[in-house]
Amino acid sequence: MAKSGGSKFSKAQYLKWYESMLLMRKFEEKCGQLYIQQKFGGFCHLYIGQEAVVAGTISACTKDDKHITAYRDHAHPLGLGMHPKFVMAELYGKATGCSKGKGGSMHMFDKELNMMGGHGIVGAQIPMGAGIAFAEKYKGTKNVAFCSFGDGAARQGALHETFNMAMTWKLPVIFIIENNNYAMGTSVQRTTNVTDLSKMGDSYEMPSESVDGMTVEAVHEAIARACDHARKGNGPTLLDIRTYRYKGHSMSDPQKYRTKEEVKNWQNQDPIDKVLDTIIKNKYATEKQIEAIQDRVKALVDESVEFAENSPLPDPSELYKDVYMQEDYPYVTE
Amino acid sequence: MRVIQFREALREAMSEEMRRDKNVYLMGEEVAEYNGAYKVSQGMLDEFGPERVIDTPIAELGFTGIAVGSAMNGLRPIVEFMTWNFAILAADQIINSAAKMLQMSGGQYSVPIVFRGGNGTAGQLAATHSQSFEAFYAHVPGLKVLTPSNPYDAKGLLKAAIRDNDPVVFLESEKMYGDKGEVPEGEYIIPIGQAKVKRTGADVTIVSFGKIIKIVDEAADALAAEGIHVEVIDLRTIRPWDEKTVIESVKKTNRLLIVEESWPVASIASEITFRVQRMAFDYLDAPIRRLMQSDTPFPFSTSLIEAALPNTGDVVRVVKELMYK
């Protein structure tokens, strides 16, 4: 496993990681509360525990790189710098949401930030992510595509078809398994004979590594290596990033498939706590400055809820918009 | 006017559009070095090179998803399926990804892409290789569906499809690739959504599309010899279909027959029938009729194939029944 001491990164980087991950955590905690209060409907998959995966990816990429992920997608736009109010409004199905209230929890998009979705069909984003990279290569850019999916999606056949073509064509795509060990309620151990998911690229000779996903420095460094490899024209890398979701698969999950001790063990390596420890140990911030960050995050989350609550629902006329690019498409209405 | 094959018309459409727009590329099984399983893309590798004419492994779901992702990121792919039967493996990417991306992203990510290949029955290929997908894909909002029946339409419609900013399902036929027809030199576009009145007549309207329209043409000639004049409409675009042209014709003839090379249940004929009874009920002088292939998986044996598909005689017979003759 790739690990890092931590001293290689700047004070500013640590403070940025802390604030970004704390925002993801507090935002998701608020989502969980609001969902229980039935403030919004649909599914709701929280990213709590996995924050270092997004934070370490985004700190290692450039702004022109592209991002595509699965339905557990609230943290990715936050990490990319989207104001959380647009994510929250999307959860509420409001017209001001980042997908105009047309995508909901599983479909967060922002073209300005190169956030190419949130995708609800498990594993569908694996070939699409390679396709995004295909376009970058076709256009001759140095950009890479980050294609994230869970350990469950890794069992879709599309993964093998995509790995084969991505290696054959040396596409600049980085496959990130956000490996939280559970496909909904089914553990990796119960669904495969080969539990080391970093080996999944072996028959395509795809470079791969397992990464400590509870340590943001380790994620950053692995992503940086993979980016360097891809930008040189050498093709994809598979990163099996070992992480953990503290909450259930979705809000309706009784979590009978795992023990409280297991959850506790992972929480003991909490990625946000670790970053905060480093900040305190190295005196990167005073107690007051840390409190200021916490206050800022809380204010942002509160502002997001207020914004979402007060935003309008989409006008009914929006039903027939954004289905076709053709503006006068003749819909059948009876 | 010069006469070329259906496959040449398709090739001209793709090549002209690839010369015009460097973001257009062709991807599929055997499209490059083999020159196309049905020689549609013959010579295109030589002209455009391996970056733009791309052989894929046999992995419909994977390469279709790659094409969709590339379309989200600025390219305009043409995906060739050796037949549409194989594209069932890619239906997730066509139906769940391409058709819905624009809506679910709140209008931010369009998917300008053409999916094309052989569709429908093509001789003794048995059930899995003999299916028509017009109704299957026309059901899905977000897609457009085209079915040309001759080389002229094939070229003009494919060019329109490639320039269109929405995902287009383009249905051809292995049995039509060798068909010859008049295609002018130089560029032309046939707009999506416009049917063609192939033949005017006052007695019965016949709506059809794709290769089975040939039996309608033959029947129309036979009926004309008996003094019965049918109006033949080639739908060309299945979604959105040209309701106005069909309704206007039915208001004139008061009788409608639909001939479709597919199964009867939840077919394009079903949809046309609904719309015509809704919009022109008072004009109908007889119940709407349809001729479809049998409500069975398509057979292998020649005697069963003959029993499964409507023929020219069937069209003549039903037209006369519609006229109570």
Place of tokens 């598909």: B309
Average pLDDT, whole number, for chain A?
Answer: 96
Residue A328 backbone dihedrals phi, psi, to 5 degrees: -105, 35
CATH number for B216:
3.40.50.920
Q: Do B58 and B153 have their domain in common?
A: yes
Contacts of B309 (CB under 8 A, 6+ apart): B121, B212, B261, B293, B294
**Best residue in A82, A322, A331 for a mutation probing chain B (most B CBs within 10 Å):** A322
Q: Do B315 and B266 have their domain in common?
A: yes
Give the global pTM: 0.97
Q: Catalogue all structural domains in chain A, each as residue range(s) with its CATH number.
A: 11-320 (3.40.50.970)
Which of these ranges, A244-258, B62-76, B251-265, B279-293, has the smallest mean pLDDT? A244-258
How do A66-69 and A145-150 pair as beta strands?
A: parallel
Asked, for residue B35, whether it belongs to a domain, the answer is: yes
Q: Do B144 and B216 have their domain in common?
A: no
How do A115-118 and A109-110 pair as beta strands?
A: antiparallel
Residues of B in contact with A98 (CB under 8 A): 106
The stretch B64-82 carries a mean pLDDT of 98
Residues of A in contact with B72 (CB under 8 A): 116, 128, 131-132, 135
What are the tens digits of pLDDT across the range B41-64? 999 999 999 999 999 999 999 999
pLDDT at A195: 95
Asked, for residue B122, whether it belongs to a domain, the answer is: yes
Beta-carbon separation of B75 and A135 below 8 A: yes
Q: Do B287 and B215 have their domain in common?
A: yes
Nearest by CB to A326, from B56, B107, B166: name it. Answer: B166
Query: Which residue numbers of B are catalytic?
Result: 60, 129
Query: What tokens appear for B136 in the block?
Result: 């299957």
Q: Do B158 and B213 have their domain in common?
A: no
Beta-carbon separation of A119 and B166 below 8 A: no
Q: Do B201 and B297 have their domain in common?
A: yes
Across-strand partners of B181?
Answer: B4
Residue A1 scores a pLDDT above 60: no
How do B168-172 and B114-118 pair as beta strands?
A: parallel
Cα distance between residue B34 and residue B82, in whole Å: 12
Residue A3 scores a pLDDT above 90: no
What are the tens digits of pLDDT across the range A71-98? 999 999 999 999 999 999 999 999 999 9
Cα distance between residue B291 and residue B149, in whole Å: 17
Q: Do B98 and B233 have their domain in common?
A: no
Q: How far is B145 from chain A (nearest CA, A)?
A: 13
CATH number for B60:
3.40.50.970
Q: Do B220 and B315 have their domain in common?
A: yes
Identify the helix (H) or strand (E) that includes residue B168: strand B168-172
Q: How far is A86 from chain B (nearest CA, A)?
A: 12
Beta-carbon separation of A117 and B105 below 8 A: yes
Asked, for residue B113, whether it belongs to a domain, the answer is: yes
Among B183, B204, B229, where does a domain finish?
Answer: B183
pLDDT at A5: 47
Among B149, B183, B217, where does a domain finish?
Answer: B183
Identify the helix (H) or strand (E) that includes residue A19: helix A11-36
The stretch A278-289 carries a mean pLDDT of 97
Residue B119 scores a pLDDT above 80: yes
Beta-carbon separation of B93 and A128 below 8 A: yes
Beta-carbon separation of B104 and A103 below 8 A: yes
Residue B72 scores a pLDDT above 90: yes
Among B124, B154, B183, where does a domain finish?
Answer: B183
Average pLDDT, whole number, for chain B?
Answer: 98
Query: Residue A48 — very low, low, confident or very high, per pLDDT cuts 50/70/90?
Result: very high
Task: Give chain A's largest Cα–Cα span.
Answer: 68
Asked, for residue B146, whether it belongs to a domain, the answer is: yes
pLDDT at A2: 42
Q: Do B142 and B234 have their domain in common?
A: no
pLDDT at B220: 98
Q: Do B89 and B179 have their domain in common?
A: yes
C-alpha pair distances (Å), B270 with each of A238, B210, B274, B277, B306: 49, 17, 6, 11, 23
Across-strand partners of B168?
Answer: B114, B144
Beta-carbon separation of A101 and B51 below 8 A: no
Q: Which residue of B has its CA nearest to A103?
A: B104
The stretch A157-164 carries a mean pLDDT of 98
Q: Do B208 and B247 have their domain in common?
A: yes
Residue A4 scores a pLDDT above 80: no
pLDDT at A252: 87
Q: Give the Cβ contact number of residue B78 at 10 Å.
A: 27
What are the tens digits of pLDDT across the range A298-307? 999 999 999 9
Q: Give the Cβ contact number of residue B313 at 10 Å.
A: 12
Residue B93 scores a pLDDT above 60: yes
Asked, for residue B189, whether it belongs to a domain, the answer is: no
Question: Domain total for chain B?
Answer: 2
Q: Which residue of B has its CA nearest to A112?
A: B108
With beta carbons less than 8 A apart as the criterion, state whether A214 and A271 touch: yes
Residue B162 scores a pLDDT above 60: yes
Q: Do B146 and B201 have their domain in common?
A: no
**Best residue in B66, B75, B78 for a mutation probing chain A (most A CBs within 10 Å):** B66
Q: At what angle do helices A125-139 and A157-168 cross, to 10 degrees?
A: 20
High-pLDDT (> 70) share of chain A, %: 98
Residue (of B28, B23, B84) closest to B53 by Cα position: B28
Nearest by CB to A102, from B59, B106, B141: name it. Answer: B106
Question: Which residues span the domain enclosing B135?
Answer: 2-183
